[in-house]
Amino acid sequence: MIRVYVLDACALIAALSDEAGADIVVDVYKKVLSGEAELVMHAVNLLEVYYDAYRHHGQDSADKMIADVRALSIRIITDTDDILFAMAGYLKATYKVSLADSFALAQTKVTGGVLLTSDHHGFDIIEEKEPIQFLWIR
């Protein structure tokens, strides 16, 4: 069975910027390329990455970055079915996380995947209380 990994915005930003933890994201990506894993990201989380690039480097840089990411073997989830919708709402209401974080968490829970993230501040409590697997990149 192929393992599903869900990218949080901070994990993709770390990989694209060669920050601490990028090596872990790259190792997962190698598993994707070898057919051992699938890498997914909800469009709401990709928007966070775009926003970060836009804010720091401008629109042209952000547009190029998105084009580069879309060329990678990352499945971008653009729809939100009723199950994902309800799960994201539950997680946001229960844990007071950001909207984008609620989508990353819900995507992970719904797929039974593993969330690639560095967001201990927001997710440590969730790791204790929810059946969601995390792969901490730092």
**Model pLDDT for residues 20-64, shown as the tens digit of each residue:** 999 999 999 999 999 999 999 999 999 999 999 999 999 999 999
71: which DSSP letter?
Answer: T
Which residue matches tokens 């995507």?
A: 107
pLDDT band at 10 (very low <50, low <70, confident <90, very high): very high
Judged against a pLDDT cut of 90, whether residue 101 lies above it is answered with: yes
The pLDDT of 2-31, averaged and rounded, is: 97
- Domain total in the chain: 1
- Centroid of chain to Cα 52: 14
User: What residues make up the domain containing 84?
Assistant: 3-136
CATH code of residue 88 = 3.40.50.1010
Query: Which pLDDT score, from 0 to 100, does residue 69 have?
Result: 96
Is the distance from CB of 66 to CB of 89 less than 8 angstroms?
A: no
Q: The dihedral of CA 97, 121, 53, 111: what is its sign?
A: negative
Query: Which pLDDT score, from 0 to 100, does residue 1 have?
Result: 82
- Centroid of chain to Cα 3: 15
Judged against a pLDDT cut of 90, whether residue 12 lies above it is answered with: yes
Is the distance from CB of 133 to CB of 29 less than 8 angstroms?
A: no
